[in-house]
């Protein structure tokens, strides 16, 4: 179901979605429930990656669907339904992040320092450690870069769709994705270097190499 | 390994079980709340308009209005001095005597050349010539 829109005929899906939305606009709760079923996992996953908190993500997902129902009349069938739902979800996530003051307090350097605190057992990091570091680095990333990266690399949207969701030009989205990936790469590399240094220090605590 | 490949390896999370039921329960609760708010708004609007209509009705039809006959009776209720004035106004004609000083209107004689009056006898019967 998660990649349904890309794998199966997207036109058919879009027609089904638009019919469902048409019914929701008339107040049909069954159609609304179908939309919830179609999108619940994707939205919960997206918001979890955005906020880093599963419970919060579930609450925000619920709020997202409430807005889908009560603001159904604002939906214009020109855009795919997924774009519209993700726009609502990303706006809610941004508001939540602002509330939590995550926007201004964590810089990339802090993220590097945080990552450097972890001591690895060996030079070759297992995937799980790497993924954990990547998650931390992603959480430390400014939402300006984090949202397009999550939408592109985790949710599988195209750059054009992301531009539609975030209401930004495609060029801006491309630049943000590229810059965001660079930041993540730098964080991971810096982290690896820190791990190497800490391993060496453990071997020679007084620095006599 | 590229960053985007690593990002794809991040575990996806799923919605909790009975998520739809929770959403639908929340939806019905919000609908009820919204309907109540709407009803309260309608009640308030209705009450306000009824109050305004009542005020208009009271102002236009129920408050005592002064007819001309009422004005006559009002005059009867006036104090004696005012009453006398009113009576005088209605019955008597008060002559107005105005003192006018015409002396100021006259021009002094000295400023003007003396006037010569030529008296001419006018008669159709006589042929006497007039000498100047």
Task: Domains for chain A: give ranges and CATH numbers.
Answer: 1-103 (1.10.1740.10), 106-209 (1.10.10.10)
- Nearest C-alpha in A relative to B4: A153
pLDDT in tens, B25-35: 999 999 999 89
What is the C-alpha to C-alpha distance for residues B5 and A188, in angstroms, rounded to an integer? Answer: 14
Quick check: B88 pLDDT over 90? no
Question: Which residues in chain B are closer than 8 Å to A147, comparing Cβ atoms?
Answer: none
Residue B58 pLDDT grade (very low, low, confident, very high; cuts 50, 70, 90): confident
- A50 to A46, A148, A183, B113, B121: CA distances (angstroms): 6, 11, 17, 118, 133
Structure tokens at A190: 């810096």
Domain boundaries, chain B: 14-63, 68-94
Low-confidence stretches of chain A (pLDDT < 70) are: 1-9, 101-127, 195-209
pLDDT in tens, A105-153: 444 444 444 444 333 333 344 567 788 888 888 888 888 999 999 999 9
What pLDDT, on the 0 to 100 scale, is given for residue B73? 64
Quick check: B50 pLDDT over 80? yes
Tell me if chain B has a CB within 8 Å of the CB of A189: no
Quick check: B102 pLDDT over 90? no
Tell me if chain B has a CB within 8 Å of the CB of A57: yes
What pLDDT, on the 0 to 100 scale, is given for residue A190? 82
Inter-chain residue contact B30 with A184, CB threshold 8 Å: no
What is the C-alpha to C-alpha distance for residues A127 and A54, in angstroms, rounded to an integer? Answer: 22
What pLDDT, on the 0 to 100 scale, is given for residue A48? 92
Q: What percentage of chain B exceeds 90 in pLDDT?
A: 25
ipTM attached to this prediction:
0.70
pLDDT mean over B37-60: 90
Backbone Cα Rg of chain A: 20
Global pTM? 0.62
What pLDDT, on the 0 to 100 scale, is given for residue A168? 92
Cβ(A209)–Cβ(A200) below 8 Å: yes
From A97's Cα to the closest Cα of chain B, the distance in A is 20
Tell me which residue of A184, A194, A202, A185 sits closest to A114, measured CA to CA.
Answer: A194
Inter-chain residue contact B20 with A36, CB threshold 8 Å: yes
Q: What is the mean pLDDT of chain B?
A: 77
pLDDT mean over B77-106: 71
């Amino acid at each position: 179901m998660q990649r349904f829109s890309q794998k199966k005929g997207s036109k058919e899906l879009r027609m089904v979605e638009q019919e469902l939305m048409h019914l929701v606009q008339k107040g049909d709760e069954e159609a609304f429930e179908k939309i919830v079923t179609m999108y619940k996992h994707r939205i919960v996953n997206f918001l979890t990656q955005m906020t880093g908190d599963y419970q919060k993500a579930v609450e925000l997902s619920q709020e997202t669907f409430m807005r889908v129902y009560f603001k159904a009349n604002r939906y214009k069938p020109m855009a795919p339904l997924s774009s519209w739902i993700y726009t609502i979800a990303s706006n809610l996530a941004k508001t939540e992040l602002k509330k939590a003051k995550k926007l201004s307090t964590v810089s990339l350097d802090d993220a590097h320092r945080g990552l450097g605190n972890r001591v690895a057992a060996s030079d070759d990091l297992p995937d799980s450690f790497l993924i954990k570091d990547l998650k931390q680095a992603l959480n430390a990333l400014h939402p300006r870069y984090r949202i397009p990266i999550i939408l592109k690399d985790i949710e599988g949207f195209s750059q054009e769709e992301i531009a539609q969701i975030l209401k930004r030009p495609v060029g801006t989205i491309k630049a943000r994705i590229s810059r965001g990936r660079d930041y993540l790469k730098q964080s991971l590399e810096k982290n690896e270097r820190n791990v190497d240094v800490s391993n060496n220090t453990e071997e020679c605590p007084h620095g006599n190499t | 390994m590229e960053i985007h490949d690593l990002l794809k390896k991040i575990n996806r999370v799923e919605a909790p079980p009975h998520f739809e039921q929770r959403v639908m329960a929340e939806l019905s609760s919000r609908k009820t709340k919204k309907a109540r708010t709407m009803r309260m708004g309608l009640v308030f609007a209705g009450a306000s308009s009824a109050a305004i209509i009542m005020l208009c009705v009271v102002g236009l039809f129920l408050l005592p209005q002064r007819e001309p006959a009422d004005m006559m009776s009002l005059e009867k209720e006036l104090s004696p001095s005012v009453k006398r004035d009113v009576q005088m106004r209605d019955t008597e004609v008060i002559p107005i005597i105005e003192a006018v000083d015409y002396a100021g209107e006259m021009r002094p004689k000295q400023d003007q050349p003396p006037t010569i009056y030529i008296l001419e006898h006018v008669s159709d019967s006589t042929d006497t010539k007039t000498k100047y």
